[in-house]
Amino acid sequence: MVLIVVFGASLDASSLAGVDKSTVSMLDRLRGEPLPRRVQSHPGLPDGRRARVARHSGQPARYARATEIAASIGQVVAFGLGFLGLFGNPLLIFIAIFVYLAASSEAQLVAMRAMSRDVPVAAAMMTQIARLEPQAHIDEAVDTLLRTSQSEFPVVDSAGMLVGVLSRADLIRALKMLGPDARIATP
């Protein structure tokens, strides 16, 4: 009901067809997306409640959509708060910024999780990556850092097991504190 009143939602088949297209804007998706009735009636539900509503409706994938709607409403509220802050208490502007950013962040996070649900990790992992051995010296790691574009290096023992990760910051710190002859496993 909120979607229909605020966003002018419609439930006809033609508008529903474009819901999953990435080229369709968020508002257009909201107009066309038929959410479970209980989610529609409570779009601003807190996180846990939204999950429960989506789960109980038998459509867990709708959680992301419900979050997107809740975030949109939160952003509208943030705009309202910011507008009021311009003419009243300036503290409202800071609250509005916080609410807006939090809503955006939450929506992006949930959307990313939803998109990654069916993607195998092998499809996203880095395969051409330089590795370091725990016994290697810091200067060898520095050479590798300069030779590659990586900022983190997996440290792998002779058996191929992951021992840790050496970051650029770790490397610079170790170089400064221990010198170039120290072993990687030390820092």
Partner 1 sequence: MTKDIPTISHRACLEEAIRLLQEKRAPAVGVVDASGKLAA
61 binds partner 1 (CB under 8 A): no
Cβ neighbours of 12 (radius 10 Å): 8
102 binds partner 1 (CB under 8 A): no
Cβ neighbours of 34 (radius 10 Å): 15
> Considering only residues 5, 13, 119, 146, which one is a binding residue for partner 1 as defined by CB under 8 A?
119
How many whole angstroms separate alpha carbon 39 and alpha carbon 49?
Answer: 10
Name every residue whose Cβ is closer than 8 Å to that of residue 80 and which is 6 or more positions away in sequence.
Answer: 96
How many whole angstroms separate alpha carbon 173 and alpha carbon 187?
Answer: 8
Helix (H) or strand (E) holding 155: strand 152-156
> Considering only residues 46, 48, 117, 146, which one is a binding residue for partner 1 as defined by CB under 8 A?
117
Candidate ranges 3-11, 48-56, 97-105, 116-124; the one touching partner 1 (CB under 8 A)? 116-124
> Considering only residues 53, 71, 99, 166, which one is a binding residue for partner 1 as defined by CB under 8 A?
166
How many whole angstroms separate alpha carbon 68 and alpha carbon 90?
Answer: 28
184 binds partner 1 (CB under 8 A): yes
How many whole angstroms separate alpha carbon 26 and alpha carbon 76?
Answer: 14
Q: How far is the CB of 86 from partner 1 (least distance, A)?
A: 36
Q: How far is the CB of 20 from partner 1 (least distance, A)?
A: 18
> Considering only residues 1, 162, 177, 178, which one is a binding residue for partner 1 as defined by CB under 8 A?
162
78 binds partner 1 (CB under 8 A): no
Name the residues that contact partner 1, by CB under 8 A: 112-113, 116-125, 127, 131, 152, 154-156, 159-167, 170, 184-185, 187
